[in-house]
């Protein structure tokens, strides 16, 4: 009996150890969380770079130093949930350095990626930190999702024609972006077009209608329709947004003329990004009759 008991105990211990190993092995790795570009970013905390160095100002603040022409620094994994309205950076420039103006070009996803903001860092400030703010361009204002940020530097070239000394003496401190709120049009965003304005009589409500249909577009929040009595939309009659559908009924009086256009939109945080408007469609109200039962 003792021998059997020992075997059972050994088997139980082996089973417990196996389960423990399975549980340990099966634990998922902690997911990487995208960082916010709307919080202060220490420029010295770069994840990769070319030519740049850093200096520590405190336990939590490191800045870029020894910045020369063609240098860049990468900051990986920032989530632009609401676009980028404005770019703000703090810097100082040694009094013994060259008078060269440094052009800081902010790019995304590679050192030669699309520029979202540019700012000239000029003047000799000595030990005084200077704050510069610039508006982001259209691409930056509609930027959404996770991106890598690149600070790239052009020293003197194209800024000062008579420049002979390209040692900048530049110290870059912290930087951040301001959220874009409201709405903005992104000309590169996928739009839609009206595919049909079929007339029908809705006998259930004794009402003639035009059934308006448009192309479905993936990856958008919905569609916005604008209706006007004038082809240039100088007099807007109605605006309405739709989600999850690609058709609607238009109720026009006989002889009434409406001009209709539609566009896609995508919402992220406080920002709404719109596509360009579709080509305008003219709809003329017809007299209803009960012989075409469609509803």
Distant-in-sequence, close-in-space partners of 196: CB < 8 Å, separation ≥ 6: 211, 212, 213
Cα 67 from chain centre: 28
What domains, with CATH codes, occur in the chain? 41-180 (2.60.120.260), 194-284 (2.60.40.10)
Report the range out of 29-38, 182-191, 204-213, 268-277 with the highest average pLDDT: 268-277
Percentage of the chain lying above the pLDDT 90 cut = 40
State residue 288's pLDDT score.
Answer: 58
pLDDT digits (tens, 9 = 90+) for 144-200: 889 999 999 988 644 433 333 445 678 899 999 998 877 777 777 889 999 888 876
Cα 239 from chain centre: 25
Query: Is there a contact between 147 and 111 (Cβ–Cβ < 8 Å)?
Result: no
**Mean pLDDT value across residues 200-215:** 73
Q: Which residue has the tokens 């050192």?
A: 111
* Position 113 confidence tier, pLDDT thresholds 50, 70, 90: very high
Of 21-30, 78-87, 132-141, least confident by mean pLDDT is 21-30
Q: Which helix (H) or strand (E) holds 75?
A: strand 72-80
pLDDT digits (tens, 9 = 90+) for 85-94: 999 999 988 7
- Per-residue DSSP letters for 138-192? HHHHT--EEEEEEEEEEESTTT-TT-------EEEEEEEEEPP-EEEE-TTS---
- State the chain's mean pLDDT as an integer: 79
């Amino acid at each position: 009996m003792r021998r059997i008991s020992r075997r059972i105990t050994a088997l139980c211990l082996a089973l417990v150890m196996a389960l423990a190993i399975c549980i340990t092995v099966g634990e998922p790795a902690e997911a990487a969380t995208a960082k916010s570009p709307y919080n202060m970013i220490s420029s010295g905390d770069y994840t990769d770079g070319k030519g740049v160095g850093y200096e520590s100002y405190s336990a939590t603040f490191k800045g870029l130093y020894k910045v020369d022409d063609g240098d860049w620094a990468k900051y990986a994994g920032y989530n632009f949930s609401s676009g980028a309205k404005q770019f703000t950076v703090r810097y100082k420039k040694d009094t013994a350095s060259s008078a060269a103006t440094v052009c800081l070009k902010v790019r995304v996803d590679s050192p030669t990626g699309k520029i979202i903001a540019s700012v000239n860092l000029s003047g000799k400030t000595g030990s005084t930190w200077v704050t510069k703010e610039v508006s982001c361009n259209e691409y930056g204002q509609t930027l959404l999702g996770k991106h890598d940020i690149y600070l790239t530097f052009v020293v003197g070239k194209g800024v000062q024609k008579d420049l002979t000394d390209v040692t900048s003496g530049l110290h870059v401190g912290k930087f951040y972006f301001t959220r874009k709120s409201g709405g903005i049009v992104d000309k590169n965003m996928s739009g839609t077009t009206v595919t049909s304005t079929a007339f029908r009589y809705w006998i259930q409500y004794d009402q003639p209608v035009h059934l308006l249909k448009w192309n479905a577009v993936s990856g958008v929040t919905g569609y916005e329709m604008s209706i006007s009595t004038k082809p240039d939309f100088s007099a807007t009659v109605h605006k309405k947004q739709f989600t999850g559908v690609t058709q609607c009924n238009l109720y026009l009086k006989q002889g009434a003329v409406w001009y209709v256009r539609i566009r896609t939109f995508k919402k992220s945080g406080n920002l709404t990004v719109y596509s360009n408007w579709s080509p305008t469609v003219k709809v003329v109200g017809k007299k209803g009759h009960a012989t075409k039962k469609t509803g």
